[in-house]
């Protein structure tokens, strides 16, 4: 198989990155696309108490194991199979369960800080930034974290004010300048997705010719 097409999808927390990723996947054979979530590469914290884990700033680049992610991306590019971590949001730690991934034609990297590391940016064929209104993102995050991640209302609000909001402006939003395409998620973005699909197919075609 030729070298996979690597796509980075960044943007603020609850900006609609997964929605954009799902729209991209809909245009291809499901077996040809692999999605890697940056969240799964939060550092292992087995040596920390739950109280200590609660104090970690999970919106800072230092909370992520980019060395491991970069290494595993290179392995996928070389046609190798990887065993990637899975993050448990209720335990604030890596799960004991892992996931085995083999290279596919298209590999999508999704996460708020996925474009913050230059090593990872430089490996990507296409870089997208999904943007949404701050209030809308907070409401989406509040609903998601309470419903899917077992968080309390108070803990979601406290984390948002203490780390999520300031880190968004310090580290996440500045990566928008690296994006090839910026997608406003508070309105219909079918045109942007169509352009992305066309570009992906073009890259795949060029790789097939080579």
| Residue 32 included in any domain | yes
CATH number at residue 51: 3.40.50.300
Does the structure show a pLDDT above 90 at 150?
Answer: no
Give the DSSP H/E element, type plus range, for residue 121.
helix 118-121
The model's pLDDT over 61-80, given as tens digits with 9 standing for 90+, comes to 999 999 999 999 999 999 99
CA 37 to chain centroid = 4
| Residue 135 included in any domain | yes
| Residue 210 included in any domain | no
Going by C-alpha positions, the residue among 147, 115, 150, 151 that lies closest to residue 11 is 115
| Residue 96 included in any domain | yes
Average pLDDT of the residues of the chain: 92
Percent of the chain with pLDDT over 90: 80
| Residue 207 included in any domain | no
Contact (Cβ atoms closer than 8 angstroms) between residue 184 and residue 8:
no
Cα end-to-end distance, the chain, whole Å? 11
Give the DSSP H/E element, type plus range, for residue 85.
strand 82-88
Q: What angle do CA 174, 109, 72 make, to 5 degrees?
A: 115
The model's pLDDT over 43-63, given as tens digits with 9 standing for 90+, comes to 999 999 999 998 899 999 999
Percent of the chain with pLDDT over 70: 96
| Residue 209 included in any domain | no
Does the structure show a pLDDT above 60 at 210?
Answer: no
Domain that holds residue 167: 5-201
What is the total count of domains within the chain? 1
């Amino acid at each position: 198989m030729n070298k996979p097409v690597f796509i980075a999808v960044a943007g603020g927390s609850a900006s609609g990155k997964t929605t954009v990723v799902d729209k991209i996947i809909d245009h291809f054979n499901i077996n040809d696309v692999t999605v890697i979530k940056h969240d799964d590469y939060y550092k292992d914290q087995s040596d920390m108490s739950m109280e200590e884990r609660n104090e970690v700033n999970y919106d800072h680049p230092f909370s992520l194991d980019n060395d491991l992610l970069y290494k595993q991306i290179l392995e996928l590019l070389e046609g190798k199979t990887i065993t990637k971590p899975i993050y448990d949001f209720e335990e604030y730690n890596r799960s004991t369960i892992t996931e085995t991934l083999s290279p596919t034609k298209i590999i999508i990297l999704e996460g708020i800080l996925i474009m913050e590391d230059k090593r990872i940016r430089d490996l990507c064929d296409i870089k997208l930034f999904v943007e949404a209104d701050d209030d809308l993102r907070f409401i989406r995050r509040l609903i998601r974290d309470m419903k899917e991640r077992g968080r309390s209302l108070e803990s979601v609000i406290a984390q948002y004010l203490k780390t999520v909001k300031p880190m968004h402006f310090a580290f996440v939003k500045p990566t928008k300048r690296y994006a090839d395409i910026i997608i406003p998620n508070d309105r219909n973005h079918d045109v942007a997705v169509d352009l992305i699909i066309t570009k992906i197919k073009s890259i795949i075609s060029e790789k097939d010719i080579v």
